[in-house]
Structure 1
């Protein structure tokens, strides 16, 4: 950063060294402090017609041509700052102040011009202080009088000429000069682009390649804009000087020639900068294209993953729905099964009761089995046909009431009832009854055969 003054303040210069003066103390530096003059308006910017010229080494367009002004109020002696519609603004105590509105300052306030670049701190950071001149004199930015230069220019051209001029040289740094007739006001210009790049690359060794490329491309663009502004300013000054009487003023004619030479130099630099930017962009294009393809593939992969997650979620929801349906069906099945079990239990209970009734009421007293071919005697008692036949071989009386047996008859209704009831009984009961029936049929056949032999013998 370079700072110069273009206004003279004779009243302030005559102040004693013991008097206290207001100044903007540069944070982190013991130099380049900006003294504020109470009898005039202090202007700050990167232009040439300002009290203090601030040039950023990292970002040439950080400070506007007329960035802000500082002025002391006559009524109460308080300092105010006004943002002159700057691009990056004026920040007081961390808050950006509105443009074209005087903002009251107090001692100790933080004043920042511009914004941080790529995570770094603000380059132009000041604190308003008021200290004796003798204590801060060594820290103040250099001030210059333009009395002699202004007088010489007024006598020759009747106007003040201020501009920035670059002179090509291989051994000396480029100079910003107030005029060609005053060599004592020259000062070194900002370092060339390659040195800035080298310093920044050394200060940030951990910076990524993409970040460095973006920073270099931004720097190329900003320098091209700055050179174009300088070319436009130089063209306007050349046009204004060419309209004057060059025959009567050799100083003006010499100045026009110098400006034309400077204009050619600026155009050459701008062309060189545009060529560098173009070649850099061409070299970067394959990498940019590759990066775009990788980003596109990454995006497609993310989309596929999101779609897969969506499908998984949908399947999980469907599975939960199916599980709910299955659980409901299982509950219904369990309820149906329980109902069937209860119905079966009730049926078994009914069958058991019927079996007990059959065994108690329809059981032959002789064989203790259900009636097989039931017959009823004259006394109304019933027995199995086989059982009563075998009984009558011994006695001709009822086994129950002991009455004489005079008649017996088959009871088909009782047989049919027993057979129908047997259909609902268990398989064991049916098999047992069938085995008894088969056994009695066999014995009956044997008896019949014996009777036939006796009849033949007779």
Structure 2
């Protein structure tokens, strides 16, 4: 009696065989497929690995398939799965294990996943499957190949199921059930006796197999000994045969060698006679060819000699013409070289004269060494005035302002102007008061570059002058440093306080010139934003109008009024309160 049920399974579609037709997934949460004996579905095929694939039931009652690092892999709908990466199966998915045996053939192990496949089965099959859920399919196949020992168990279960479903209090059924149980026990006893008989046969078979294995091992030992003796005999025969073959070969070689030596002697004699004949023939032919070649070469030599004489005569004529042209060209080159040398000497002489005229220090009458510009910088200038046209405003005793234009960019050597300032604080050229000085790097670089093109005597003279100036400067700095260390701290403070106290009375007594140290570079001149008014009177004798404008004035000086940064020196004769020079 059968029934129709829906099961979740893998249905094979690869070929027409009924083996592994349906792999049920309904009664287990994990199904393993491979050719190992411990898997759920045993497939003894070389294309299948020991544990090829694993199918797992998830919590939502879905199934996943995982490739368990198999050799030939697992494909779902033609897509190969990554090892140990589960993929969820859907209804109708094709699962392929392994690869086709040949490129033109289909894969042998292909199933389709069915969530609900309607099948018809007998009632006892479900009971049997309920008892065998955890038993591998391989054990079922092995049991099916042996005699049906446990056939009474499914029959009894069938009867119990029928009695349970169709139970009645009738005694008839109870008697039938007891009779059926007695019959089943008898049948089970007979099956057990049969199983015991089969076990005894199997033990006898094992004993026979052990005896046969012992006999086979003894036979193998005997055959191995016979094989060893046979090998020794064959080895002795091989050695004897090799000795005989060697003797025969040596005799044959000796015979062949004697015959070859005789043949070689005959051929050598024949070749010797042929060689003599050929040498005589070649000697006569070579003598004839040499005679003809000598005659031909002599004729060619005469022709080449004539041609060479003509060529030599032509070359001598050309050489004479070239020599005359070369002499003429050399004369012209010498004339041009002399003219160029004269022009260069005259240019250098004019250039040296020009440098001595324009770039000489008016104090030492030498080329400038560390050029210094003498600048008279007075505050109160318009912002658009250049460095060579300094404007300043002077208010006289009558209250009138006079605008003066002073051109004051005279240049001197640094050492010369410092030496000059020890005697006078005025410009050696225009006699204007010296208020500041700047170094001209452009003139220094220009003079150094131009001196390189002068004569050696002028270069040596220039170098000697520079070294002397450097030595003098070092000596002065050393003396100044010695004097500075010898003075005490108290004297410097007292002298500064005295200058501070005597400053307010300087308006009528005159202004003292405070010059920067020689070894310091003055900062750039800064023009103030507001004009500075200097009130003067006839009593101001420090700076007279005659020194600035060329006329004298006897009017007394008035008090000075300066607008600027408080606490700084006046920018006329002392330090500028804007630039510090």
Query: Same fold per TM (> 0.5)?
Result: no
TM-score, normalization by structure 2: 0.25
**TM-score, structure 1 length as denominator?**
0.32
1 or 2 for the larger relative contact order (CA 8 Å, sep ≥6)? 1
